[in-house]
Structure 1
Amino acid sequence: MALQLSHAVSDGIRRTVSRTGGILLLGFLAIQFGLQTSANSAVLGLIPPEAAEQFSQNAGITLPIPGSVSVALFVVLMVLSTTYFVVLSRTFARPQSEMSRFPATLRRRLGRTTVFALVGGLIVTVSIMLGTVLLILPGVFLAASFLFFIFGVAVEDRGIISSLKRSWGLARGSRIKLGILVVVTALFGGIIGAITPLLTLAGLPVVADVVTVVLTTMFFVPYYAIIASAYLQLRNEEDALNQSTQNPVDSSQTPKL
């Protein structure tokens, strides 16, 4: 299967600027602000008091709540974030003509799918980290191979192992192009990793958090829309290939010219 990356990029951007894409953008922005705030508050609330006073100067956005409550809030938001990506996958992995509204199947087995996505996501993350530690290329290879895992779970209602195999199969023959998307993500992470400390050192920790959250949101929602478009492209191509294999043309029934 051959992926047309330029088409996936343009189609993904069109999906992002749709009505549902705008709602998903705002939803992700809210979740990211919640995660950043709860993480800052957890660190500030759990470290020793003598260190907390010094850390508070560079803590960024925080809430006046105990550290244990902040940790609980962070965990809840992490689960909510996983649910969000299930919703995002089901919304973006549809024909362009249906992007003006959310799918009717949005809440189908949402709890079960969220658990599968969370556990499978951890497996994928650990695999990519191990591959990256050994050598960078194995990490990129694994990341490209499992880009479609979330769509196997959320869109096709598959289990964890089946979704991993599904993603691996769809990526076959297109891993170099998908690897480009992975590298772009790494470059974006490097940019964020450079901007945030500079703003913090300049005495602007709150600004650093806001910039990080906004840029992350503006990058990742279109990014996943592009992946959804690539998934649809490769899935439809595979379906067409399977259909032609199952229903070969009978030359004896073809009229002679």
Structure 2
Amino acid sequence: MPINITSMLKQGYSRSIKRNGLMLMGIIFVISVLNGVLGLGVDRWIARQQFTSNGIQADPTLLVPPLGAGIVSLVLGVALLVVSIAAIRVFVSDETERLPREVFTRNMVWATINLFIGAIVFGIIVALGFVALIIPGIFLLVTLAFWTVYVAVEDQNFITAFRSSWGLTRGYRLNLFVLGVAVVLLTALINLVFGFGDLASGSFAGDIVALVFAQAASAITTVFSTAVLATAYTELNAQDDEEFGETISEDTTAGRPAA
């Protein structure tokens, strides 16, 4: 059974601009900007220092700011993972106003670890697929697209989530590829619009402006693509349940004795 790509895009957009969708954009934006400003600050600080091996030996405290920034950046990165998991959980639910506490707390350590390790494995698998004449990479990208949802929502480990996504996409992969292309094109358009912030780059203040524009685009596209992914997951599960129910009904009818 084909899926309605236009409807999924509209639903993804609709969920993105609901109150909790906008809240998620704001959270992602703030975390990303803080991380970016931290990186710019460290780059500027290093450029002003005599950051050589001899300088480090003479004054080991030169390592403190970069190491401290690295730790803070790691914490912010973990925070982004947590928010990403929470976003998936919100968008597969019917909640449109609040960000319930449980979406940020339920099995979060387990989900975060699996999402982190799974993302590395997923990236390697897809990269190897693209090396093998591109088509296998696209196939794997589409086939395994929903593994993050299974980790976040179903509390599966990433290996089981890969298998679940493989099964869920069976019969819909061409449609999902078209859906993915549409999301990529819309994302590229948003990035192009916000890319004008790069015109201000050059000075530190200009780099901050460019960073703000870039992270605003990133927050919007991240929430939108997550909403579309969650919508597609919900729709495919509903269709599978419907087909399963029809099969059971047919089997039951076939097993009844003739009147």
Which bracket does the TM-score occupy, shorter chain normalised? Answer: 0.7 to 0.9
Aligned twin of 1:74 = 73
Where does residue 25 of structure 1 map in the other structure?
A: 25
CA gap 1:22/1:254 in 2 versus in 1, 3 angstroms: farther
Structure with the greater alpha carbon radius of gyration: 2
Residues 236-251 of structure 1: matches in 2 within 5 Å? 236-247=238-249, 248-251=251-254
- Give the Cα–Cα distance (whole angstroms) in 2 for the partners of residues 125 and 185 of structure 1: 19
TM-score by length of 2: 0.79
Aligned-pair distance for 1:89?
0.7
Residue in structure 2 matched with residue 100 of structure 1 by the alignment: 97
Match of 2:122 in 1: 124
- Write the letter of the residue equivalent to 2:88: S
Give the residue type in structure 1 aligned to 2:138: V
**What amino acid maps onto 1:79 in structure 2?**
V
Q: Kindly tell me: are residues 42 and 17 of structure 1, through their superposed partners in 2, closer, same or farther at Cα, counting changes over 3 Å?
A: same
Corresponding residue number in structure 2 for 1:177: 175
Aligned pairs for 1:44-63 (under 5 A) are 44=44, 49=49
Partner residue in 2 for 1:234: 236
For structure 1, which runs of at least 5 residues remain unmatched after alignment? 53-64
1:143 equivalent in alignment to 2:141? yes
Give CA deviations for 1:122-158 in whole Å, capped at 9, x if unaligned.
2112222333344443333222222211110111111
Shift of the 36–7 alpha-carbon distance from structure 1 to 2, 3 Å rule, reads same
Deviation at 1:179, TM superposition (A): 2.3
Offset of residue 100 of structure 1: 2.8
Q: What's 2:59 paired with?
A: none
Superposed CA RMSD? 3.2
CA drift of 1:177 comes to: 3.0
Report the CA distance shift for 1:104/1:77 in structure 2 as closer, same or farther (over 3 A).
closer
Structure 2 CA distance for partners of 1:253 and 1:138, relative to 1, 3 Å: closer
Which AA in structure 1 matches 2:207?
Answer: P
How far apart are residue 90 of structure 1 and its match? 0.6
- Shift, 1:181, TM fit: 4.3
Instruction: Check 1:143–1:252 CA distance in 2 against 1; reply closer, same or farther (3 A cut).
Output: closer
Q: How far apart are the structure 1 equivalents of 2:87 and 2:247?
A: 32
Residues 45 and 68, structure 1, Cα contact 8 Å, conserved in 2:
no
Q: Classify 1:38/1:185 alpha carbon distance in 2 versus 1 (closer, same or farther; 3 Å).
A: farther
Equivalent residue pairs, number:
242
Structure 2: gaps of 5 or more residues: 53-63
SS in 2 for 1:158: coil
Q: Percent identity?
A: 24
Residue pair 1:90, 1:103 contacting (<8 A) in 2 also: no
